[in-house]
Amino acid sequence: MQEWLDKIESSDSLDTLEQIRIDILGKKGILTAEFARMKDVPNEEKKEFAQNLNKQKTAVNSAIDSKKTILMALALDQKLKAELLDVTKFSTTNGTVGATHPVADTMEKITSYFQNLNFSVEEGPLVEDDFHNFEALNLPKFHPARDMQDTFYCNDGKLLRTHTSPVQIRTMMNSKPPIRMIAPGTVFRRDFDITHTPMFNQIEGLVVDKEDQISFANLKHVMVEFLQHMFGDIDVRFRPSFFPFTEPSAEVDISCIFCKDASTGKSCGCRVCSHTGWLEVLGCGIVDENVFKAVGYEKVSGYAFGLGIERFAMLIHKIGDLRSLFESDIRLLEQFKGSAK
Ligand code: DAH
């Protein structure tokens, strides 16, 4: 008996302990065999014999139970130690430290530039209605300028917004002038080639104040300062253009940063700028009266601008193919480590 108890006490694993239990109390166990001998014991000795066996059985069972509790606690402790995950530990094994994606980085840089100028940051839905995406922006049904925006339509007549300009409309309808806002966000168009992806990002800007307060000169000043902040020492030019929601409208070019001659400071023309020396970077203009009418504004003036984030990211980081920004190729993304500030 003592020998069994010692064995139980010194067992060092749950498996060993279970084996000991089987050896003693299992179907073919030593004690089980003793119980089987009962039938051969003379009647007058049976009681004492049974009592003795039951005592042994209880002692073995309780020794096993208490040992089991100890061993289980130990096993849990070991398991926890083995599975311990130190999330604060710095990995030096493969050097994969995350980096901000160039699109997110550019979005953040532009957003914080305008926040510093006291522009609020506004948002709108990605699934838009015709009114906000087109109608209120002076793009009535069947207007030829709608063709400029290859739209994804949903079954219920709604659409995926083709630009961030609808946020202008929503913001004006939800607040009163003066307004200084930007709207960064994702937009969608049915387009896919080296310079177009069906999903991309834009930032829209809108400033509205009292009648005669906002002029093209204000717009020009803000755009030139902004572009020089983003691209450094570059020339900026405004080309007359057309957007339904602004009149007059302009497209803005910067002098090409790829073929700038270090001695003269002039851009001499290269493949990227189609040998013109200029790169188109944004659209802007004075808000059209019809847009103000659509949102119920009277006696106000304002300017608006819109730009593509990916285009800025590509120029800033000198990336050749727009599609590579969306492929999540670690080899490309790793090159931007440390570029985010
Ligand atoms: N919404 C235009 C587009 O997606 C960009 C744009 C141009 C926005 C001129 C403006 C603007 O607010 O004034 O192509």
Contact 336, 324 (CB under 8 A): no
Residue type, 232: G
User: How many A from CA of 63 to the centre of ligand 1?
Assistant: 82
Lowest mean pLDDT among 240-244, 271-275, 332-336: 332-336
SS3 258: coil
Of 151, 161, 204, 220, the residue with max ligand 1 atoms within 8 A of its CB, to mutate for a pocket test, comes to 204
Task: Tell me: pLDDT of 309 over 50.
Answer: yes
**Ligand 1 atom showing the smallest separation from residue 187 Cα:** 4
User: How many A from CA of 182 to the centre of ligand 1?
Assistant: 12
Q: Percent of the chain beyond pLDDT 70? A: 96
Residue 306, ligand 1, Cβ within 6 A: yes
Q: Percent of the chain beyond pLDDT 90? A: 68
Global pTM value = 0.72
pLDDT tens for residues 123-177? 999 999 999 999 999 998 888 777 767 899 998 989 999 999 999 999 999 999 9
- Predicted confidence at residue 236, as pLDDT, reads 97
Q: What is the DSSP string of 68-127?
A: HHHHHHHHHHHHHHHH---TTPPP-SS-------HHHHHHHHHHHHHHHTT-EE----SE
